Amino acid sequence: MTMINDRLAYLDRLISVQNCGHNVHEEIDEAIALVRSELREGQSKHEGDLSTGYDDYIENIKRLAGDWYSDEFRLTNAVIYGAYSSGGSGDIYVGRAQGTSTSIWALEATFKDVVYLTIETQRNAPNLNGKVVFIDPGVSVPRGQRIKRLLKIVSIEDVPRHD
């Protein structure tokens, strides 16, 4: 995303120079066309990440879980991935011991804009600016961070039904 923002700023500067009446119009037009082309390629790759990234995400889960991987956790994986790909913020309700941490770590390994904050990582949090941040219960985002979205994990217990 930073690369795209840098290119947009560069494109704005080129357009403003172009409008000043300099004699280098051909060179500027060529540079603008090149930057626009690169931006389109970058945008299409970013959009493609979500559609093709799911398979990479599942492979990362399998790699992280190793022998503990089970298809029983498909719902948790789908919930975590869905929360990320939806573009929304809010609470994510998941069952206890359903592979939530592994699922988020795999998402973090798959997509560069994901960060998982736990009680252990909160104190030495990395730069969270522009990131989709997943947090465990009791964890907060450090002050001064300009995150993209916040997704709070809410762990629920399986409550037996009494019919």
Q: Where do the domains of the chain lie?
A: 70-156
Q: What is the CA radius of gyration of the chain?
A: 21
**Is pLDDT above 70 for 43?**
no
Higher local confidence (pLDDT), 108 or 52: 108
Q: How many helices (H) and strands (E) does the chain have?
A: 5, 4
**Is pLDDT above 80 for 113?**
yes
Mean pLDDT of the region 113-127: 86
Report how far apart, in Å, the C-alpha atoms of 130 and of each of 1, 11, 92, 93, 148 are.
8, 21, 20, 24, 5
What is the pTM (predicted TM-score) of this model? 0.63
**Is pLDDT above 50 for 86?**
yes
Q: Would you state the pLDDT for residue 98?
A: 86
Confidence band, pLDDT 50/70/90 cuts, at residue 152: very high
